[in-house]
Chain A
Amino acid sequence: MQAHYLIIGFFSLLLSTVSYAEKTPLEWLTSMEQAHQQLNYKLPLIHLERNHVQSYAFEHGRVEGQEVAYIASLSGPVRHSYRIDNLVTYVEPEIKPYSIHASQIVGPSPMKFVGKLAQVTENYSITGLGKGRIAGRICQLIRLKSKDDHRFNYILWLDEASSLLLRYDLFDLENNLLEQIQAVGLHISENVSANLVKLKDSTRIDISPVVKAAPQRWDLSWTPPGYKMQSRDNHRLMVTAESVEYLLLSDGLSEISVYVAQAGELAMPKKAITRNGIAMANHRQGNVDITVVGRIPYQTALKLSRSVIEN
């Protein structure tokens, strides 16, 4: 009996040595990127945030050389979005569908880390955490631990057979879970689905905003390491119609908005954090209100709000 176990143990050790021991965590991430862009697959998933659960169907495929990704919510109002190469279309209740040039559908997606490898390796240390099981499949767990305290940490679960991302967890600096997506199944197929073929030929209205170069009065004396300026403009907030000077920073995985507005009648509280981890830091400087919003540690938002300087 004991000999049996020994033999089984020996064989499984041999197998894992042969197929996986050579693959480093970074190589896993590289093969994940390729798999997500090349395979035809369907991936039903659940998105969790504190007090919030939503189920989605995700699909990806290649139709006549073009990449098509599709995600639809499965409960509540009908919403779906799809991306054809670099054009993302959002279909939502009561408004006409619209498309925006973007590399990714904004929102929960198993492709969140695709195309971000350079930034991920710059900002995170990457380690393997062993194996786990999700959607009935064996996974490799990869931990992305921030090299500093300016971003949150991830654990990625990659399907051992296909390298596809089946789950990710986002943790704040105190290791509280902020967000999770988790596949509940995975169907990889040789042929692309009829749905994706249909989407590829749908009509799309491109409304990508043309960012108008406006004179900027304000700038940043400090930005958290790894974050780059992605966009800046002057616009107006909905609801309050406040005019703001706006800066968008990104480290590839999270975005930070920096606003400078005319000081309001009431100062906003210095600190607020939503339950799903979006921090807001408000700071009054002379006759302007500075607001920093992002899913980042509050201290980073605070420091950034104090780094706004007049040009």
Chain B
Amino acid sequence: MAHSKELLSSFIDGEELSSKAILKQLAQAPELAQTFSRYQTIGDAMRDEISPAFELNFADSVAAAIEAEPTIIAPAHIAEPKTEVAAPKKRADVIPFFGRLGQYGIAASVAAAMVIGVQQFDVNSSDTMQDFPVLQTIPTGGYASPVSFQAPAQSGLQQELEQQQRIEQQRRMNAYLQDHLLQQRLKSKGDVEQPK
């Protein structure tokens, strides 16, 4: 597997390899295919060419995550008695908003609308580089190159772990950014003075 990933990485980096061999390997190992797609996405993000397809997938994955979510949306406060959690009708009365449309449907649409802004972390300003661990493009070596697994095996593993952590961090940061945008919409105030 580690060898396959190395091949894959080199292939994405544009090195001379038989694409046929890679495709055959991809077809045989679904997890490798996933890795392929992830590497490609990371590469695209680093080259700043996140494609519309990626954005669409992103919205899809938000929708999918929503689908998988339990329907309890308003988190029960710790102090609340358990009985209320078990009474869905009452909850619906308290927050009819969730019952009628579902916050998450709207959230996904806000995310789709805002994804361009959200994805664009400024990774180009070198002075604040260490502040932006999000899909960082410049490896410690100091030259720009897509993530690759040319390094010795154990550090490759470490690098993959770090990459995973970065992706997880970015996902969490994006969740906060999207929620901020959503809350602005949901909680903007009706305080315009109407002319007399």
Chain A: CB-nearest residue to B68: A241
Known: A209-B95, A236-B73, A257-B179. A38 touches B169 (CB 8 A): no
**Interface SS of chain A: helix, strand, loop or mixed?**
loop
Q: How far is the CA of A289 from the CA of B180 in the complex (A)?
A: 16
Q: Enumerate B173-191 residues with CB–CB distance to A below 8 Å.
A: 173-180, 182-191
Known: A248-B183, A274-B117. A102 touches B188 (CB 8 A): yes
Contact with A along B98-112 (1 / 0, CB 8 A): 001101111111011
Q: How far is the CA of A106 from the CA of B106 in the complex (A)?
A: 14
The answer to whether B120 touches A209, judged by C-beta atoms less than 8 angstroms apart, is: no
Known: A115-B193, A239-B62. A100 touches B186 (CB 8 A): yes
CB contacts (< 8 Å) of A52 on chain B: these are 116-117, 120
Chain B: CB-nearest residue to A114: B192
CB contacts (< 8 Å) of B88 on chain A: these are none
The answer to whether A275 touches B122, judged by C-beta atoms less than 8 angstroms apart, is: yes
Chain A: CB-nearest residue to B98: A209
Assess whether B66 is interfacial by the CB under 8 Å rule. yes
Known: A79-B113, A96-B101, A98-B101. A274 touches B177 (CB 8 A): yes
The answer to whether B109 touches A264, judged by C-beta atoms less than 8 angstroms apart, is: no
The answer to whether A207 touches B100, judged by C-beta atoms less than 8 angstroms apart, is: yes
Q: How far is the CA of A49 from the CA of B122 in the complex (A)?
A: 13
Assess whether B168 is interfacial by the CB under 8 Å rule. yes
Q: How far is the CA of A209 from the CA of B190 in the complex (A)?
A: 13
CB contacts (< 8 Å) of B131 on chain A: these are 269-272
Assess whether B74 is interfacial by the CB under 8 Å rule. yes
B-side interface residues, number (CB < 8 Å): 63
Q: Enumerate A62-91 residues with CB–CB distance to B below 8 Å.
A: 67, 77, 79, 85-86, 88, 90
Chain A: CB-nearest residue to B182: A238
CB contacts (< 8 Å) of B111 on chain A: these are 238
Q: How far is the CA of A104 from the CA of B117 in the complex (A)?
A: 21
Q: How far is the CA of A85 from the CA of B113 in the complex (A)?
A: 24
The answer to whether A102 touches B177, judged by C-beta atoms less than 8 angstroms apart, is: no
A103 touches which one: B121, B185, B190 (CB < 8 A)? Answer: B190
Chain A: CB-nearest residue to B195: A37
Q: How far is the CA of A215 from the CA of B117 in the complex (A)?
A: 33
A277 nearest CB across to chain B (Å): 9
CB contacts (< 8 Å) of A255 on chain B: these are 180, 183-184
The answer to whether B180 touches A235, judged by C-beta atoms less than 8 angstroms apart, is: no
CB contacts (< 8 Å) of A230 on chain B: these are 187, 189
The answer to whether A235 touches B121, judged by C-beta atoms less than 8 angstroms apart, is: no
A73 nearest CB across to chain B (Å): 9
B110 nearest CB across to chain A (Å): 8
Assess whether B11 is interfacial by the CB under 8 Å rule. no
Chain A: CB-nearest residue to B191: A103
Of all A-B residue pairs in the complex, the 9 with the closest CB atoms, nearest first, are: A103-B192, A115-B192, A86-B190, A102-B188, A275-B120, A239-B175, A293-B180, A243-B75, A231-B187
Selected A-B contacts with CB under 8 Å, 20 pairs: A37-B195, A49-B117, A52-B116, A103-B192, A114-B192, A207-B97, A207-B100, A209-B103, A215-B79, A230-B187, A235-B74, A238-B65, A238-B103, A238-B108, A239-B171, A269-B133, A271-B132, A275-B117, A278-B180, A280-B173
